[in-house]
């Protein structure tokens, strides 16, 4: 039995410390040590994108990264998308709801994180850029059209919010009133 390794990271806006085994993946640490089960476990070989999170501004498959490599990193998971907008859904999450992009929901946390990373880097993506940005995220329900539409809608609404005075913004959905704050199954 190897000795656990102490990790300190900034996770969803909070400083967190946790102990991992040297062979643990970041996915293991997020789900098992930090209880962030919004990040999904599926293929474990970097093919499905269900485990996508953002580390130091880059989206990546957390099943392919060792947890020890995340020491000192800034990590964002799907739970952090809602927190980013206070206690409300982000524009992107709301767009996924409004377009019916979430069917069984299993791929949605990964799709959201890839889309969020894309919109942070490319606020006005073309359809081809959206398809490329989400190419690593598979959806078994084949809801690709609705997912692309959601990202397009979010891009438009984010642009509108930049242009719109704070006082004219619609109140957003209270996450606590929704059946599942992660907009995806555990």
Which residues contact ligand FES (rule: CB under 6 A)? Answer: 41-44, 46-51, 61, 63, 102-108, 139-141, 143
Task: Compute how many other C-beta atoms are within 10 angstroms of the C-beta atom of residue 24.
Answer: 19
| Residue whose CB is less far from ligand FES, 41 or 131 | 41
Q: How far is the CB of 53 from ligand FES (least distance, A)?
A: 10
* Of 74, 141, 88, nearest in space to 111 by CA: 141
Name the region of 90 (left: φ>0; alpha: ψ -120 to 50; beta: rest): beta
Show Cβ contacts of residue 52 under 8 Å, excluding neighbours closer than 6 positions: 39, 59, 60, 61, 62, 109, 110, 111, 113, 114, 136, 137
- Least distance to ligand FES, CB of residue 40, Å: 7
Residue in the block written with tokens 């269900």: 50
Closest to ligand FES by CB, 5 or 136: 136
Smallest distance from ligand FES to CB 54, Å: 14
When the beta carbons of 3 and 28 are compared against ligand FES, the nearer one is 28
Q: Phi first, then psi: what are they for 44, rounded to 5°?
A: 65, 15
Q: Pick the closer one to ligand FES by CB: 18 or 106.
A: 106
Instruction: Give me the least distance between CB of 88 and ligand FES, in Å please.
Output: 22
Nearer to ligand FES, 46 or 71 (CB): 46
Element (H, E) at 52: strand 52-55
Cα-to-chain-centroid distance, residue 24: 20
Question: Residue 139 Cβ, how far from ligand FES at the closest point, in Å?
Answer: 3
- Residue 164 CA to chain centroid, in angstroms? 26
């Amino acid at each position: 039995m190897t000795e656990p390794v102490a990790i300190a990271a900034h996770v969803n806006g909070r400083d967190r410390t946790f102990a991992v085994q040297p062979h643990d993946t970041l996915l293991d640490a997020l789900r098992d040590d930090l209880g962030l089960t919004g990040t999904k476990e599926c293929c474990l070989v970097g093919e499905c994108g269900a485990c996508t999170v953002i580390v130091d501004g880059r989206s990546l498959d957390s099943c392919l990264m060792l947890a020890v490599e995340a020491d000192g990193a800034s990590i964002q998971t799907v739970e952090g998308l809602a927190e980013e907008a206070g206690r409300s859904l982000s524009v992107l999450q709301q767009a996924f709801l409004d377009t019916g992009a979430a069917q069984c929901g299993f791929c949605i946390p990964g799709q959201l994180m890839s889309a969020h990373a894309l919109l942070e880097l490319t606020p006005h993506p073309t359809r081809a850029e959206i398809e490329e940005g989400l190419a690593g995220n598979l959806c078994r329900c084949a809801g690709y059209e609705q997912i692309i539409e959601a990202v397009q809608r979010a891009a438009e609404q984010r642009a509108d919010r930049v242009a719109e005075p704070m006082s004219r913004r619609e109140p957003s959905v209270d996450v606590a009133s929704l059946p599942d704050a992660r907009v995806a199954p555990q």
